[in-house]
Amino acid sequence: MRARDIDLEQAIQPEIYEPTRAEIIDQLGRARREVEVKGVEPDSLWEGWSDVSNNDFDAAASRIRDKGWLEADWYNGITDVINMGMQLDDDVADDLDEEDALQVQQQRADTMFQEKYNYLSEGRRAEYRAWKDATLMRIAELSASLEAGGSNDTQ
């Protein structure tokens, strides 16, 4: 269910809004109980997540409305992406068994802290210092040879 699926005038009526909110919060809770990722412990999969309360949901819905995100291009394209994914799933499902299932990269809050993105680690800093020192030494050598009237050795 998408927030856009409800008429805005009806959405603010408690008899419409409250059951919809309850359904969405229930679906979020079910996801936490039912979603499993092969090779990942359930505790680590949901680390940092917390249950969504009615107040949390109301605050998020208010912010979404205030920011006008339901009118944004990215939001309007969600249906297209979902439909495209369903079509791909149907096409691929016939050709694959469970052993051949496509691996999906997890997007978690801590993915930016992977070593490949840690440009400020001690190892990366040491590599940079070595590169910088070698480059500055080469520049100094070239400058000295030019000042001494030597050849133009820029190769």
Nearest to 31 by CA among 13, 49, 54: 49
Domain boundary assignment for the chain: 3-105, 117-147
48: left (phi over 0), alpha (psi -120 to 50) or beta: left
pLDDT tens figures, 73-88 = 887 788 788 888 777 6
pLDDT band at 101 (very low <50, low <70, confident <90, very high): very low
Residue 24 has a pLDDT of 92
Q: What is the pLDDT of residues 2-58, one digit of tens each?
A: 555 555 555 567 888 889 899 999 998 888 888 888 888 877 887 888 888 999 988
CA distance 107 to 115: 15
Task: Classify burial at 38, counting beta carbons within 10 Å of its beta carbon; exposed 0-12, middle 13-18, buried 19 or more.
Answer: exposed
Q: How confident is the model at residue 102 (pLDDT cuts 50, 70, 90)?
A: very low
Q: From CA 143, how far away is CA 67, in angstroms rounded?
A: 57
Residue 2: both structure tokens together: 């998408």
Which token pair is 7?
């008429």
Q: 3-state DSSP call for residue 94?
A: coil
Collapse the DSSP code of 52 into the 3-class scheme (helix H, G, I; strand E, B; otherwise coil) and give the result. coil
Mean pLDDT value of segment 59-68? 87
